Amino acid sequence: MRSYSLAAPGKINLHLEILGDRPDGYHELAMILQSIELSDIVTITPLSTEAIRLHCNHNQVPLNKDNLAFKAAELMVAKFPAAFAQWGGVEITIEKNLPVAAGLAGGSSNAAAVIVGLNLLWDLGLTQPQLQELGAGIGSDVPFCISGGTAIATGRGETLDNLVTPPEIYVLLAKYRSLAVSTAWAYQTYRQQFSHTYPPDSQALAARKTKLSETDLLQTIAHQDLDRLGKSLYNDLEKVVLPAHSQVAKLRQTLESFPNSGVMMSGSGPTVFALCSSQQQGEELQRQLKAALPEPDLEIWVTKFNSGGVKVIS
Ligand code: ATP
């Protein structure tokens, strides 16, 4: 029986709008998600014992049942007990290239890779929509991480409408290594501070939902207009994360002072990204940022838009 290595790409949010509360306690969201080429590598190897083992080269990643990749394997075992009994256990090795708790959906992407990998390893023959339905049971970002590319995500983030990925758009990512923001904290704080702005009933919520289809961003993605795309970036969570973390606000402001096509925080942060028209512009921006903020704790990557999600690499 063979092993599979899969690329598990991160994502950025080109648009993150909190529309209101849902009856299930989550927020109703309207987002545009974009996969990036920066990826973790998840390797799945069969084990002769009936166990799930997990390894990761990053000390902030839990190696127990809290790990989303582990949860995904447990879910697959529970859903397909006959395959587990037939094929045995699995060893999951995560090579972390994405920063952790960074707003880039690293954990969700690792879970997506385990679901896709076990479908292959156990010869289950599940379709992408079936894999995404399983993924939604682990986390709202997992279905997107499976298909990737560019998509409108609504509901809790799990309802997807795919868009065509604009080609050749580069992304600079910057994050303070020692700074992590909990996604749960960001959404709870937003609710505490802004729930008075939420629509009062389901009719008013439905009216707000139609707003995304009117935004300039969808048009600019369709027309592959990078400068307009950069001007249309939006993230409600900046309203709570930037005031709480002045370091991130300063990073964002510094990036904005150099030539690029648009700057925004991704998801619940604290990663800030800037859109660029070429690898060369991304690298120039990296040099300018390093010179302006010469702090060893600041990590910077240059990557690009990715038109897909989890992918088998060997
Ligand atoms: P999102 O954008 O989906 O909110 P994120 O990029 O902010 O995700 P992750 O890197 O997924 O955050 O990590 C969030 C927390 O989840 C971490 O603090 C870590 O304890 C936990 N975690 C569980 N599984 C993983 C995993 N496979 N990789 C990274 N973190 C994980």
Task: Give the DSSP H or E segment for 259.
Answer: none
Query: Is 40 annotated as catalytic?
Result: no
26/154 Cα distance (integer angstroms): 12
**Are 230 and 133 within one domain?**
no
- Residues 107 and 141 placed together within one structural domain of the fold: yes
Domain shared by 39 and 63, yes or no:
yes
Going by their DSSP bridges, the two strands 272-276 and 262-265 should be labelled as antiparallel
Residue pLDDT, tens place only, 233-267: 999 999 999 999 999 999 999 999 999 999 999 99
35 and 156: one domain? yes
The count of other CB atoms within 10 Å of the CB of residue 213 is 10
pLDDT attached to residue 210: 65
Q: What number is the average pLDDT over the span 297-307?
A: 98
Annotated catalytic residue: which of 71, 141, 175, 236? 141
Q: Which domain holds residue 211?
A: 170-304
The residue type at 70: F
State the distance from the centre of ligand 1 to the C-alpha of 212, rounded, in angstroms. 27
Higher pLDDT, 170 or 214: 170
pLDDT over 70 at 181, yes or no: yes
Q: How far is the CA of 204 from the centre of ligand 1 (A)?
A: 33
For residues 143 and 192, membership in a common domain is answered with no
Are both 184 and 286 inside the same structural domain?
yes
Residue 41, ligand 1, Cβ within 6 A: no
User: What is the pLDDT at residue 225?
Assistant: 87
5 SS3 class: strand
**Interstrand relation of 170-176 and 52-56 (parallel, antiparallel or unpaired):** unpaired
Find the farthest-apart pair of alpha carbons in the chain and give their distance in angstroms, rounded: 58
Q: Which atom of ligand 1 is nearest to the CA of 98?
A: 10
Same domain, 131 and 8: yes
pLDDT at 206 over 90: no
197 and 275 inside one domain: yes
Q: Is 141 considered catalytic here? A: yes
- Work out whether the CA dihedral 286, 292, 293, 295 comes out positive or negative: positive
Give the gyration radius of the chain's Cα atoms.
19
Backbone phi and psi for residue 282, each to the nearest 5 degrees, phi listed first: -60, -45
pLDDT band for 211, please (50, 70, 90 cuts): low
Q: Do 147 and 292 have their domain in common?
A: no
Domain check: are 268 and 119 in the same one? Answer: no
Residue 182's identity, in one-letter code, is S
Q: Whose CA is nearest to atom 8 of ligand 1?
A: 105
Q: Report how far ligand 1's centroid is from the alpha carbon of 228 (Å).
A: 31
Average of per-residue pLDDT across 185-202: 91
The answer on pLDDT for 212 being more than 80 is no
Within 8 A by CB and 6+ apart from 204, the residues are none
Phi-psi region of 49 (alpha: psi -120 to 50; beta: other; left: phi over 0): beta
Exposed e or buried b for every residue in 279-289, given b needs 16+ CB within 10 A? eebbebbbebb
pLDDT band at 308 (very low <50, low <70, confident <90, very high): very high
pLDDT in tens, 60-74: 999 999 999 999 999
Residue 238: the pLDDT is 98
Number of domains the chain is built from: 2
Q: Is the CB of 29 under 6 A from ligand 1?
A: no
Residue-averaged pLDDT of the chain: 94
The CATH number that applies at residue 118 is 3.30.230.10
- Mean pLDDT of the region 115-123: 96
Percent pLDDT > 90 in the chain is 83
What confidence category does residue 193 fall into, taking pLDDT thresholds of 50, 70 and 90? very high
Residues 153 and 176 in one domain: no
